[in-house]
Amino acid sequence: MADTATTPDWYQSKVTTVDPDARSLLEEYSGLQPDEVLSHVLALRDEAFKIFPYPCIGQMRFLSCHLARLPFYPRVLARLQAHASAGFLDAGCCVGQELRYLVHRAKIPARSLDSAASGSGDSGF
């Protein structure tokens, strides 16, 4: 957990649940046991927050998978499935949860999953 003396008010210190899509991804894609998920994501959050003290990390939003809910998702998915050379760049990827969602749920081949958050994505997924 972050140091409470220096933690911003918006930091979510009491976390008891994990986003259902993220939980599913961590259990199915990463192979975590259900009882390991919460402690795993809290450790991931704490590690990432030390390096990047951003609200998206402190408020656990780095686990949210929103790509499939966006109106252009069907077009992105169709293009990725139709053309093996097609790519998808997620410029705001944090720990790469959206890209891993594509790899796991949509069965899009992973060519390069690099995380901006100093490798936190690799340890997280």
The model's pLDDT over 63-88, given as tens digits with 9 standing for 90+, comes to: 888 888 999 999 999 998 888 888 88
In a domain, 106, yes or no: yes
7 found inside a domain: no
Q: Count up the domains in the chain and report the number.
A: 1
Which residues make Cβ contacts (< 8 Å) with residue 95, sequence separation at least 6?
44, 48, 62, 63, 115, 117, 120, 121, 124, 125
Q: Is residue 31 part of a domain?
A: yes
pTM, 2 dp: 0.73
Does residue 42 fall inside a structural domain?
yes
**What is the rounded CA–CA span in Å between residue 61 and residue 41?**
11
Indicate the average pLDDT of the chain: 84
Q: For residue 15, tell me if it sits in a domain.
A: no
- List the structure tokens of 51: 């390096």
Q: What is the pLDDT of residue 60?
A: 94
**3 in any annotated domain:** no
CA 5 to chain centre: 27
* Domain membership flag for residue 90: yes
For residue 117, the SS3 value is coil
Residue 117 has pLDDT above 50, yes or no: no
Is pLDDT above 90 for 95? Answer: no
What is the domain extent for residue 26? 20-124
